[in-house]
Amino acid sequence: MANQSELPEIFETEAPEVFQAEAHGEEVQHEEPVALGLAPGGWVGLAMLLFILILVWKGVHKLILGGLDSKIFAIRENLDEARKLREEAEALRAEYAAKIANAEKDAEAMLENAKSEADAIVKKATSDTKAMIARREKMAADKIAAAERQAVDDLRAKAVDASAAAAKALIADKHDAAADSALADKVISKI
């Protein structure tokens, strides 16, 4: 950073000793200039009053008031629009709150409906399962009965075959050719 002594002074002022030297050791009094009996402050006030009077005479105050009125009108329009937008937003909020409430009710109703349908499906599945088990038991019993009948029929057929074979063997042992021809003659005579 530069030294303070190296920086240029913008306003050079004389030391107070110079003024005391001019006044021969006494304090120097400076008088303010006066023109037409008015000090500088009076002239500034008079110029300001004259400036304001010219502004009023030219109607600048009406222009300023008109600008302010147009700003007030624009602000009122913005406030009215904001009020309408707020009312619309509140109406939308109420509508969506009602939709949410209805959706919750619908969801509860759907849940209850799903539970009742699930219960009905479980009951139907239970009854269908019981009916199927009963049908399968009946089918198994029918198959067992059919198998038993078949076994009895097979056993009877085997018994018949065995008795026929035994009878054939007995007949073959006890019948000879003469008995066969007598039997054949007897059968032929009946026809």
- Give the model confidence (pLDDT) of 131-188 as tens digits: 999 999 999 999 999 999 998 888 888 888 888 888 888 777 777 777 777 778 888 8
131 φ, ψ to 5°? Answer: -65, -40
Does some domain include residue 75? yes
5 φ, ψ to 5°? Answer: -75, -25
Q: What is the pLDDT of residues 149-163, one digit of tens each?
A: 998 888 888 888 888
Number of structural domains (the chain) is: 1
d(CA 191, CA 189): 5
Q: Are 43 and 35 in contact (CB under 8 A)?
A: yes
Task: Provide the residue range defining the domain that includes 123.
Answer: 44-167
d(CA 6, CA 30): 33
Does some domain include residue 17? no
Task: Give residue 118's identity as a one-letter amino acid code.
Answer: A
Tokens coding 67: 């600008």
